Amino acid sequence: MMSASIFWGFARYTGTPKTTDTTLALLWNRSSQAEWVIRCEHCNKFNIPNPEQDLLKMIGKRGPVCAKCGQPVFPKNGGYVHARPERQLSFPGYHISQTVHPLHILSQAKWNRLLDKIENYAPLALYNEVFGWPYDAATSPLTMSDLQKATHDISVQRPADVRGLKHLYSYITVAVDWSGGSMVSDSYTAYAVLGLRRDSDLIDVLYGKRIKHGVTPTDEANEIMDWIRGTGADAFTYDNGGAGFARLEIMNHQGLRETPGLVVIPINYVRPRAGDVMVPHTGMRESDLYYYTLDKSRSLAITVMSIKATRVRVPKFAETDEKAFQRDLLALREDPNSNYFGSSALCAKNGKRIAGPPVQFSENFEEKKRLATSASMF
């Protein structure tokens, strides 16, 4: 009805986003993101009561304190400051936390109750109910800040653009993850073009795309073949599951394996294990049946660390662009539930465990040994 109105329409969204991928959390990211910033009268620091900034350091025994010098601070000495002032008139957003709200700080009894919540609440309830902030039970190993630091300015829109960059790169790879056709969550065929720098060990993601739903296998195969041939790729790698069978058959008929200088690398994902992250299996009956196995959890962990260290870079993008393929990296979560090796596992956003179901060990050593042995056979 608002969109049909001939007058100005306004909508107000209030509440607490429970997790980072809810509607409220997405709206907050699109807003001006105003925080009640408090100036310290002792050291002049401007304290930002945001869990990603100073909030945790501002919680004192008798009230809010300066995150820098530890002296008391008073909300009356503060005011809203918009992190994105250019959105202030079009989409203002305001965050308030119990830790700086007058109703909570003017009474010592109420502040003591707040301290009790901080001491005893589970993280999910604490961030939601006290801090007014979204929280995921699983932790995100990558942040938007990490991604923005690991960007480059190279613009690639078509295969010929990569050929023009051959003097910068010693090795070009086209990598594909086929759509699984899932009915539970969105599943796309996605591909990326990566280059290994000649002057260093940096890897640049030069181009990436999710292919829209409804595209035929033939069109998908043609699009990927255009990038393999058009870039003069040195390698083509893909997940060796059944979902890509039709596309690969089409590509093989188009001469995929006869492409000069191209190495084809099929990948089979496996559960966490000891040894190398990636292992070749070349002793096959026929030469075109070889494949590599990849420990997916550990390979994701290596990728995350490489991005944090800016050894893997992605094309520059706007934080407000919710369709940017780079944002898919933010969907990774580190599951705090132990797997059968007693460690955490990196998972996709929908919560699907990559490491497999946990095994509950008994206190009996022989039982532990038996279950560990059976788990290693998965």
Write the DSSP string, 26-45: HHHHHS--EEEEEE-TTT--
Rounded Cα distance between 74 and 63, Å, is 9
Torsion sign over Cα 98, 34, 60, 144 = positive
For the stretch 39-90, pLDDT in tens is 999 999 999 998 888 999 999 999 999 999 999 999 888 999 999 999 999 9
3-state helix, strand, coil in the chain (%, to 5): 30, 20, 45
Other beta carbons within 10 Å of 371: 16
Residue 170: count of CB within 10 angstroms of its CB: 12
pLDDT in tens, 194-230: 999 999 999 999 999 998 888 888 999 999 999 999 9
Grade residue 24 by pLDDT with cuts at 50, 70 and 90.
confident
* Greater model confidence, 117 or 289: 117
Residue 373 to residue 206: CA distance in whole angstroms: 43
Decide if 251 contacts 221 (C-beta within 8 A).
Answer: yes
In CATH terms, the fold of domain 144-327 is Nucleotidyltransferase; domain 5 (3.30.420)
Residues listed for the chain: 378
Quickly tell me which residue has 């007014």 as its tokens.
Answer: 132
Q: What's the pLDDT band for 22 if we cut at 50, 70, 90?
A: confident
Res. 242 pLDDT band, cuts 50 70 90 = low
Residue among 35, 76, 27, 30 nearest 53 (CA): 35
Q: Tokens at residue 321, please?
A: 């662009």
Residue 231, amino acid: T
Strands 333-335 and 345-347: antiparallel
Of 311, 315, 329, the closest CA to residue 196 belongs to 311
Q: E strands, the chain, where? A: 34-39, 46-47, 78-82, 94-95, 151-152, 169-177, 189-197, 203-211, 235-239, 263-270, 278-281, 291-295, 312-315, 333-335, 345-347
Distances (CA, A) of 378 to 217, 235, 242, 371: 32, 30, 19, 11
- Of residues 182 and 317, which shows the higher confidence score? 317
What is the pTM for the complete model shown?
0.64
pLDDT of 363 above 90: no
The full set of domain ranges for the chain reads 23-130, 144-327, 334-375
For tokens 């662009």, the residue is: 321
Amino acid at site 298: R
Tokens of residue 72, six digits: 């008391």
Bridge-based pairing state of the strands 46-47 and 312-315: unpaired
Instruction: Check residue 84 and report its DSSP letter.
Output: S
Q: 143 in the Ramachandran plot: left (φ > 0), alpha (ψ -120 to 50) or beta?
A: beta
Residue identified by tokens 């109105």 is 5
Which carries the bigger pLDDT value, residue 361 or residue 250? 250
